[in-house]
Amino acid sequence: MKPAKDVNTAAVTAVGLIGGWLTARESGIRPLGGVLLGVAGAWAARTWYARHGWAAAAGLSALYVGAFGLSHPLAKRIGAWPSVLAVTAVASGTAYLVSDADKE
């Protein structure tokens, strides 16, 4: 497994949100999508903590879970794909700015 400080958390966040939704949708097994969402979130949080400590890890994790939660009511207004893409852009973009950009 890649060392925590070397993980691209913006990509992991995108895989968790988009991949979790797509897995649940295509398999018809919502908890399976939740497993992917949770594993990706934990993997990203491990890096956030290693790079920036508890406060950043907690804040970015809250944003990640909040994005997942917000995607549901947002999907009723703009559709499923646009909703998932919008919340993923915000969560992944923030992860990049807060955690990944200073690594490059």
Domain range summary for the chain, segments of one domain joined by +:
8-103
Residues in the chain: 104
pTM for the predicted model, two decimal places: 0.93
Please write the tens of the pLDDT for every residue from 17-32: 999 999 999 999 999 9
Q: Distance between CA 7 and CA 99 in Å, rounded?
A: 10
Please write the tens of the pLDDT for every residue from 1-18: 889 999 999 999 999 999
